């Protein structure tokens, strides 16, 4: 049985903000950002245990090209994306969501 991927609204907003920022810099770069994030989502769904726990049950996956961390929790039925977070920001912002 495959797990369902649920992206919380805060994480969606972060992805949209990052997309807009990259697109303003270089047309097409925002789309590349979203493809990179989608690849990480797929990797998480394939095997979430490869990602370390960083705050209680919250796990973290890193994007390869962009300085973003993806924080999530998982169980046998679903993976919930809590945050798509720029690595230079204050981590207390995403920790409040867990």
We report the CATH number of the domain holding residue 23 as 3.30.2310.20
d(CA 18, CA 13): 9
Residue range 83-98, pLDDT digits in tens:
999 988 666 655 555 5
DSSP 47: -
User: Average pLDDT, stretch 70-79?
Assistant: 94
Do 45 and 5 form a contact (C-beta atoms < 8 A)? Answer: yes
Buried b (16+ CB within 10 A) or exposed e, 60-96: bbebeebebbbbbbbeeeebbbbbbbeeeeeeeebee
Which of these, 42, 45, 48, 41, lies nearest to 68 by C-alpha position? 41
Segments forming the whole domain that contains residue 62? 4-95
Total number of domains constituting the chain: 1
- Token duo for residue 31: 């789309």
pTM: 0.88
């Amino acid at each position: 049985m495959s797990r369902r991927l649920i992206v919380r609204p805060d994480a969606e907003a972060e992805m949209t903000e990052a997309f807009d920022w990259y697109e303003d810099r270089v047309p097409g770069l925002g789309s590349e950002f979203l493809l990179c994030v989608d690849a990480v989502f797929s990797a998480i769904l394939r095997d979430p245990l490869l990602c370390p726990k960083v705050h209680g049950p919250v796990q973290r996956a890193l994007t390869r090209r962009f300085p973003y961390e993806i924080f999530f929790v998982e169980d046998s039925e679903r993976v919930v994306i809590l945050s798509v977070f720029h690595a230079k920001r204050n981590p207390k912002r995403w920790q409040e969501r867990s």
